[in-house]
Structure 1
Amino acid sequence: MNEKEFAELAAGHALHALSDADEQLFADALAAHPEWQAIADDDVETAHLLADASSTAAPPANIRTALLAQIATTPQGDHLAGAPVAEEAQPEVDVPFLRPPRRWGRAIFALAAGLVLLVGLGFGVAALTSQLTTPASVVALEEIQSAEDAQQASVELESGAVATAHWSASVGSAVLVADGLEPLGDDQTYELWFVRGDEPVPAGLFEADAGDATALLEGAMHEGDVIAVTVEPAGGSPTGQPTSDPIIAIPTA
């Protein structure tokens, strides 16, 4: 067994993810190569740091995007990032070749180590997990509200519903938060618009769950845009222009 294969087993051992047979391979390899003990110790220490992480500090708003981008660019084949593509040397001991799931386990451990680094910077695992699963509209709203130039404006509809637009020129986006909107049938939907002068620009569709909604407008907001909402046929306006008068119109200037 070579050192790279042992490192993969060591990661699984630290995470208690090895089968009985693999645990025996790990023990035999360590007995045959005591100089590899440092590899196993490092992995166990990292696993303990991950388990003991308790900080609840909120991660920055862009951490979700950055991590997802990192995951998307990570190679998913048999070879890990940085591993040579050329054929590997034969193991030093006649043992079955390690299967891809063990390599995959090593990649997961590398991600865990990355999480430990974030914890070391003050980002709790629980907070990070929450960040990764938070809807984009909520993440955008938090980013806008934390900006120095954050602004908001509200309107009340005749039905009693309240809609509040949040925007920031530095962030370049806007979010609409509505409370008490009337439910629509399956043949209708709410559509967002940036009204730029006399030109309405489609900015996405949204639904009101029990009358409530937090919707991120698609596209970049321009200074002075009016944030508007119309009721359109299911799937949105078929013409790319509003087919009804806006039920919400909030100036941003």
Structure 2
Amino acid sequence: MNEREFAELAAGAAVHALSAEDEQRYLRALAENPQWQAIADDDADVAALLAAGAPEVAPPASIRAALLDEITRTPQTTTAPEQSGGETRSGGAPRPHRMRMLFALAACLVVLGGLGFGAVAMSGILSPPASVVALQQIESAADAQQASVDLESGGTATAHWSPSLGSVVLVTDGVAEPDPGKTYELWFVRGETPIPAGVFSVDAGAATTQLDGQMQTGDVIAVTVEQDGGSPTGLPTTTPVIVIPTA
């Protein structure tokens, strides 16, 4: 992925509008290219400003009509597939050029209030999930670390953590949905003691989840499959499907 494509994905991430696949591509690219953090920060700042700074105002009908006409006439182009190590990436929505255009249009719509969305109504869309914010904070920390494992059932899981922050975020890709009535539960395994750290679900095999509580040096990050709501006993009831040591 080049810097231009990352910038387009960063615009989508700022308004929480990426598909699960593109969000994983964005997070991986950010982890591999920390020098691009400023791009992500700039887009996040713009999104926050749009969410907080514009009252709901109805523009003249002519402006709204012109804007919608421009949307209709703008060519919906896509970038060429990305080649990496023999693997071809195609598809994914929205694609980069279109996402950058949508980000600009979203700014116009928030300022104009042309479709009846005020700043308060848009704030939920423009605010990134807490887990994504936590991941960005970890990756910005001087002592940021990460470890990945390939899963027997397919897919991968990557733990991102910062000892100074005491924070951990787990990113999964290609992980199967649990059976009906079941959920994934996170654990800090501290010595021989498992400590519950929240539950999570996956969307098309992907998830970005911050663990509840503070990690300690040497903790193992584990995931088990439990009943909805988590283990009723506060202890794992199944063999972990994900185990990631942090030491």
TM-score when normalising by structure 1 = 0.50
1:186 to 180, 184, 188: 180
Q: What displacement does 1:223 show?
A: 0.9
1:209-224 equivalent positions in 2, closer than 5 A: 209-224=203-218
Answer yes or no: is the 8 Å Cα contact 1:194–1:201 preserved in 2: yes
Kindly indicate whether structure 1 or structure 2 has the higher relative contact order, using CA contacts under 8 Å at least 6 residues apart.
2
* Structure 1 gap segments, 5+ residues each: 1-55, 68-110, 114-124
Spell out, residue by residue over 1:108-142, the C-alpha distance to the aligned partner (whole angstroms, 9 max, x if none): xxx649xxxxxxxxxxx96xx69951011111001
Give 1:184 deviation, angstroms.
1.6
What's the TM-score, normalizing by structure 2?
0.51
Amino acid at match of 1:164: T
Deviation at 1:218, TM superposition (A): 0.3
- SS, match of residue 224 in structure 1: coil
Counterpart of 1:174?
168
Q: Match of 1:185, as an amino acid?
A: D
State the alpha-carbon separation in 2 of the partners of residues 173 and 132 from structure 1.
24
Q: Using the alignment, how far apart are the partners of 1:143 and 1:176 within structure 2? A: 14
Alpha-carbon shift at residue 235 of structure 1 (Å):
1.0
Distance in structure 2 (CA, Å) of the matches to 1:192 and 1:176? 9
- Select the residue among 133, 138, 142 that pairs with 1:148: 142
Q: Is 2:154 the counterpart of 1:160?
A: yes
In 2, Cα distance between equivalents of 1:234 and 1:146: 34
Residues 140-179 of structure 1: per-residue CA shift (max 9 Å, x gap): 0011011110000000011221000000011210000001
Q: Based on CA coordinates, which of the two structures has the bigger radius of gyration?
A: 1
- Structure 1 residue ranges (4+ consecutive) displaced by more than 3 angstroms after TM superposition: 129-132
Q: Which residue of 2 aligns with 1:57?
A: 42
What is the aligned-residue RMSD (CA, Å)? 2.8
The residue number in structure 2 matching 1:100 is none
The percent identity for this pair of structures is: 61
Contact 1:59–1:131 (8 Å) recurs in 2: no
Corresponding residue pairs, total: 140
